[in-house]
Amino acid sequence: MKKNNIFARIINKQIKSDILYQDDIITIFKDIFPKYPVHVLIVPNKKIKNLNAINNTNQNILNHMLIHTIKIAKKLKIHKTGYKVLINCNKGGGQEIPHLHIHLMGGVKK
Contacting positions for ligand 5GP (CB under 6 A): 6, 17, 29-33, 88, 94-97
What residues contact 86, with CB distance under 8 A and at least 6 apart?
A: 102, 103, 105
**Which residue in 85, 83, 5 sits closest to 46, CA to CA?**
5
CB atoms inside a 10 Å sphere around CB 7: 22
Catalytic residue list contains 64: no
In the complex with ligand 5GP, the residue whose CB is nearer, 19 or 61, is 19
In the complex with ligand 5GP, the residue whose CB is nearer, 30 or 84, is 30
Q: What is the DSSP letter of 90?
A: T
Known catalytic residues are 101
